[in-house]
Amino acid sequence: MGLQAYLTLAAVVFCIGFFGVITRRNTIGILLGIELMLNSVNINLVAFARFSGDVTGMVFTVFTICITVAEAALGLAIVILLFRVRRTVTADHLDLLKG
Amino acid sequence: MTFDSGMPLVVELALFALAVVVLLMGIAGRPYLWQGPRSGPVGVAGGGPAGKAIGWVALGGLVAIFGLTFLATEGGSVLRGSFVQDSLAIFAKRLFIASAALSVLGSLTLPHASFSRRAGEYHFALIASLLGMSVLASARELVLLFVAFELMSIPLFLLTGFLKREAVAPEAALKFFLVGTASSAVIVYGMSFVYGVTGSTTLDAIPAAMIGGHPLMRLGMALLLAGLGFKIAAFPFHMWAPDTYEAASTPFVAWLSVAPKAAGFIAIIRLFVEGVGSAALVWMPAIAVLAGMTIVMGNLMAIPQQNIKRLLAYSGIAHIGYMLVGLAALSSSGVAMMLFYLVAYMFGNMGAFLVVEVVARSEQSDGIDAYRGLAQRSPLLALVMLIFLLSLGGIPFVAGFWAKLYVFWAAIERGLYGLVFLGAVLTVVALYYYLLVARRMYIEAPVRRDPVPVPGLLRAAIIVCVLGVVGMGIYPGPWVAMAMRVAATLF
């Protein structure tokens, strides 16, 4: 399989994630979409690194994975906080701030 | 890997040390965190350093580090050119640190008990974010740029939701978080293409690849521009700003509305302008369209706002558009005038937000109606607010006028007449809604007659902003010269 196959896979995963971010009403679903978007980046980076024989892309991937984890941790913490205060995690119900 | 010298990192090391000190002071002040829940009163600042002291340490440290930036030698670099201390980096760091110090000065008197009890966390997160910005300003390598961007962003989400028991804070934090992480994903997806095409993660490789015009490179740079558009809240990517501003504490918002956006602009300059030369002109139409849309939509959406923080949020979006006008010129003078605009915007916008904090504390309301008859109640405060609003609106002899004029000038040099015309027309619209606030202050009758109390520390922060706005307005020469000198190194 050539580089193109991996890039296409990454693009598909990215688009699925983006679609999820836009269409999901549950904030956890949106978070999952963002995770997919970030994972497609890893596929891209590893594929580019593998096909150019350059290790930097792999190192970049390690950094993005770490940061993704930090983001997911904070995001879930905010969702839990929101549930405690408001008893809902549905995006449609988050309408105190408007205008 | 060789460490040429530790000196270029001196500002970052000092910020890191300050963050650790503040965090440890915060832990020391809450013995129940390490002695178990029974040993100390929960919810009260314990035997250790109180919240105020932590704030003062953070403020003193930031002022000292601001002084330290004048000792930092220009032109140094470490980690094989990944981290450079050039004049742009030093300029940006001074802007970030000065605005952070003003924000800390404003937040020292915040009445909410959380700010005193969890002052260690608040200031730690703020300084950590500042550290991220500071590294970002120096980063000339994609991995470092991305890590710095995230170090800047993640504490901002946390600070937005700082008052975690209030209904609006987690909502604003979640909205900011979702938009922020989604835009980070777009940015890093763009970076992966740039890496793939150039085969290296240093920014030095970008100009050649841009001239090569590989389609994947175009795609990568477009994704980067879109992702950074979210960070600076340019038009189609602006929705998070008003909600976040409305819910977060005002002195923090004053900083949030300036420093992270300045950081976004620095990243754009590093990626699209520095060393790229005429190859960057491919991006001129895209940036010009972004600028035009941002100016129009920001100003139009500001008109119906009844909440002053939302009004300033939308007007801030419009100001981002004006800065993009300077950037769209993609010339040395355009970038210089954009940097000048950033400084003028920092003083004017932070000052306005700090006055909002003063009024909100006395009236318990962020509504525009709270400003009714302010001129009769506190003439000086009303005058100061008027100066900030006029500066934001672009009236002569305050900083904002020169900023707009210079930005337009730079754009005209490049033949962007349509964009300048649009910007000039929308300036009138902006004046309309700024003067709506001024009308409430000066013409309408006050509901109450007692003067608005101004806490001493907030007064100090506001005075600094007034001096900045008026000083830049009367005597813009040195500031322009400084901005020109910084921008000249980029071309």
Residues B266 and B343 in one domain: no
In percent, how much of chain B has pLDDT > 90? 65
Residue A2 host element (H or E): none
B485: Cβ contacts below 8 Å, ≥ 6 apart? B87
The one-character DSSP state at B203 is: G
The one-character DSSP state at B78 is: E
Phi, psi angle pair for B199, to nearest 5°: 75, 10
Q: How far apart are CA B126 and CA B152, in angstroms?
A: 9
Residues B351 and B397 in one domain: yes
- For residue B286, tell me if it sits in a domain: yes
The domain boundary, picked from B271, B290, B318, lies at: B271
**Least confident window among B105-109, B145-149, B250-254, B386-390:** B105-109
* Residue-by-residue DSSP string for B212-224: HT-HHHHHHHHHH
- For residue B50, tell me if it sits in a domain: yes
Number of domains in chain B: 2
Averaged pLDDT for residues A33-40: 95
Q: Which residues of chain A lie closer than 8 angstroms to B174, CB-CB?
A: 27, 75, 78-79, 82, 94
B314, closest residue in chain A (CA to CA)? A99
pLDDT at A93: 80
Residue B414 host element (H or E): none
Residue ranges of domains in chain A, CATH in brackets: 3-90 (1.10.287.3510)
The domain boundary, picked from B253, B271, B289, lies at: B271
pLDDT category at A1 given cuts 50, 70, 90 is: confident
A28, closest residue in chain B (CA to CA)? B178
Residue B249 host element (H or E): none
Residues B29 and B12 in one domain: yes
Residues B267 and B125 in one domain: yes
Degrees, nearest 5: CA angle B129-B308-B399: 70
For the segment B331-344, what is each residue's pLDDT rounded down to a tens digit? 899 999 999 999 99
User: Please, what is the average pLDDT of chain B?
Assistant: 89
pLDDT at A99: 61
Residues B170 and B290 in one domain: no
Phi, psi angle pair for B201, to nearest 5°: -100, 5
Q: Which residues of chain B lie closer than 8 angstroms to A96, CB-CB?
A: 167-168, 171
Q: Is the pLDDT of residue A31 over 90?
A: yes
Rg (CA), chain B: 22
pLDDT category at B109 given cuts 50, 70, 90 is: confident
Record: contact B143-A60, CB cut-off 8 A: yes
Residues B359 and B442 in one domain: yes
- For residue B320, tell me if it sits in a domain: yes
Residues B21 and B123 in one domain: yes
Name which of B174, B181, B189 is nearest A14 (Cβ-Cβ). B189
- For residue B104, tell me if it sits in a domain: yes
Q: Is the pLDDT of residue B47 over 70?
A: no
Does residue A94 belong to the interface with chain B, where contact is any CB pair within 8 Å? Answer: yes
Record: contact A94-B186, CB cut-off 8 A: no
Here the ipTM equals 0.96
Q: Is the pLDDT of residue B98 over 60?
A: yes
Residues spanned by the domain of B16: 1-185+242-271
Q: Which residues of chain B lie closer than 8 angstroms to A44, CB-CB?
A: 189, 192-193, 196
Cβ–Cβ < 8 Å for B472, B347: yes
Record: contact B168-A97, CB cut-off 8 A: yes
Q: Which residues of chain B lie closer than 8 angstroms to A38, CB-CB?
A: 181, 184-185, 188
For the segment B440-452, what is each residue's pLDDT rounded down to a tens digit? 999 988 888 888 8
In SS3 terms, B101-133 reads as HHHHHHHCCCCCHHHHHCHHHHHHHHHHHHHHH
Q: Is the pLDDT of residue B1 over 80?
A: no
Question: Hey, how many other C-beta atoms are within 10 angstroms of the C-beta on B206?
Answer: 26
pLDDT at B45: 44
Give the total residue count for chain B.
491
Residues B10 and B90 in one domain: yes
Interface with chain B: mutation pick from A46, A67, A80, highest number of B CBs within 10 Å: A67
Read off the pTM.
0.93
pLDDT at A34: 95
For the segment B295-332, what is each residue's pLDDT rounded down to a tens digit? 999 999 999 999 999 999 999 999 999 999 999 988 89
For the segment B258-288, what is each residue's pLDDT rounded down to a tens digit? 999 999 999 999 999 887 877 788 888 999 9
Q: Is the pLDDT of residue B5 over 60?
A: no
Q: How far apart are CA B371 and CA B378, in angstroms?
A: 10
Name which of A18, A48, A67 is nearest B196 (Cβ-Cβ). A48
pLDDT category at B46 given cuts 50, 70, 90 is: very low
Q: Is the pLDDT of residue B208 over 90?
A: no
Higher local confidence (pLDDT), A33 or B109: A33
Q: How far is CA B486 from the centre of its chain?
A: 19
- For residue B378, tell me if it sits in a domain: yes
Record: contact B182-A63, CB cut-off 8 A: no
A90, closest residue in chain B (CA to CA)? B171
For the segment B418-438, what is each residue's pLDDT rounded down to a tens digit? 999 999 999 999 999 999 999
Question: Hey, how many other C-beta atoms are within 10 angstroms of the C-beta on B446?
Answer: 16
Residues B250 and B380 in one domain: no
- For residue B374, tell me if it sits in a domain: yes
pLDDT at B364: 87
pLDDT at B471: 93
Name which of A17, A30, A82 is nearest B171 (Cβ-Cβ). A82
Name which of B165, B195, B307 is nearest A45 (Cβ-Cβ). B195
Does residue A17 belong to the interface with chain B, where contact is any CB pair within 8 Å? Answer: yes
Residues B308 and B368 in one domain: yes
Name which of A30, A56, A71 is nearest B200 (Cβ-Cβ). A56
- For residue B406, tell me if it sits in a domain: yes
Cβ–Cβ < 8 Å for B218, B198: no
The one-character DSSP state at B53 is: H
pLDDT at B38: 57
The domain boundary, picked from B271, B292, B324, lies at: B271
- For residue B207, tell me if it sits in a domain: no
Record: contact A75-B178, CB cut-off 8 A: yes
Residues paired with B202 in a beta bridge: B141
